[in-house]
Amino acid sequence: MRKIEQSWYKPMSLINVVLLPLSALFWLVSSTRRLLFRVGIKSAYKASVPVMIVGNIGIGGNGKTPFVLWLVPYLQSLGLKVAVISRGYGAKPPHTPYHVTDDSTAQQAGDEPLLIYKRLGCDVVIGGDRKASIEYLIAHNEPDIIVSDDGLQHYQLDRDIEICIVDNERRFGNGFLLPAGPLRETPKRLKSVDLTVFNGSIKEDGYSLNTTGIYSVKTGARVTQFEPKGIAVSAIGNPSRFEKSLSVNGVTITQSKHFADHHMFTEQDFEIYNKSNVFMTEKDAVKCQSFAKDNWYFLRVDAVPSERLVSKLHNLLDKKGIITHGV
């Protein structure tokens, strides 16, 4: 699978050609499905509160989570009570909808939902049935707006605002749909979303990812004294970006180990590293905190949006009637 994913961001190869018939089938099925919702043959659930979807047309490593981590506090600064829903990829909750709490583990909540909760403290609910998650939140927490972390292609859910995140560096890869390429939908889909946001570009409607420090995986506290040399371990969609950030921040990478996106780490995954310093992302750190050693660190990054993006988002919220004019 890793070889297929790597081929998506390289010139056309034999493996892409072989997979093209499956991509054509994927396009036919997904396009037909969306059409059924557009013409009303299939109906979508309309929530009683505004729903904002933050998703993408590709898979993995687009920088969606850092944007959500910025977006929620921004909406809160406008006086809105915000809740987040997520499918909780790879999670095994005791029940669904599952409300993430201080006692939740990454195994129960999933890495991204747990990170969002730990960082922001807002209501986060996971479950494959997004309607059930929303109705749970409305009944128990009365949010003013619900942010759906991913779900752009979940057409069973009506939405008030669609935001699509695009990696400014990798863009759309080879431009093919799955499995010959990384796309769930063609780039034409961007014409119908409310806002296309470019990760890694502050010149467009985008944001940069700024490093805000090195932190201890074990304690969660920021560290200033550590040996800037060690092994980079990651289970994310785009590990090269993470490793570049480590290097830019003065960390010498002696070895890199890549796991599948959302891999649920165990202590056994780190046995071979013995006493070496280990560096990882914040998303991976929430899965390792319970068994982390003193010399395990994570790199924290924050999304910093362009003024143009903030202005467009504010105007969009105003236009949709989600905020009072002039807030």
Out of 3.40.390, 3.30.70, 3.30.1240, 3.40.50, select the CATH number for domain 27-205+306-319: 3.40.50
Cα radius of gyration rounded to whole Å, the chain? 20
Q: Would you say 58 is a known binding-site residue?
A: yes
* Alpha carbon distances (Å) from 106 to 113, 156, 167, 174, 298: 8, 27, 26, 33, 16
- Averaged pLDDT, 226-231: 95
* pLDDT for residue 327: 53
Separation of alpha carbons 213 and 234, rounded Å = 17
- Averaged pLDDT, 25-40: 93
Identify the band that residue 200 occupies on the pLDDT scale cut at 50, 70 and 90.
Answer: confident
For residue 138, pLDDT over 70 is answered with: yes
For residue 325, pLDDT over 60 is answered with: no
Q: Would you say 281 is a known binding-site residue?
A: no
157-186 confidence digits (pLDDT tens)? 999 999 999 998 888 999 999 999 999 999
- Averaged pLDDT, 94-121: 96
Q: Would you say 64 is a known binding-site residue?
A: yes
For residue 1, pLDDT over 70 is answered with: no
* pLDDT for residue 11: 84
* pLDDT for residue 326: 52
Residue extents of the structural domains in the chain? 27-205+306-319, 210-303
Separation of alpha carbons 161 and 275, rounded Å = 48
Q: Would you say 96 is a known binding-site residue?
A: no
Q: Would you say 59 is a known binding-site residue?
A: yes
Q: What's the mean pLDDT when you consider all of the chain?
A: 93
Separation of alpha carbons 41 and 34, rounded Å = 10
For residue 90, pLDDT over 90 is answered with: no
* pLDDT for residue 275: 87
Q: Would you say 175 is a known binding-site residue?
A: no
Identify the band that residue 35 occupies on the pLDDT scale cut at 50, 70 and 90.
Answer: very high
Identify which has the larger pLDDT, 12 or 73: 73
Q: Would you say 53 is a known binding-site residue?
A: no
Q: Would you say 60 is a known binding-site residue?
A: yes
b/e for 169-207, b at 16 or more Cβ within 10 A? bbebbbebbbbbbbbbbeeebeeebbbbbbbbbbeebbb
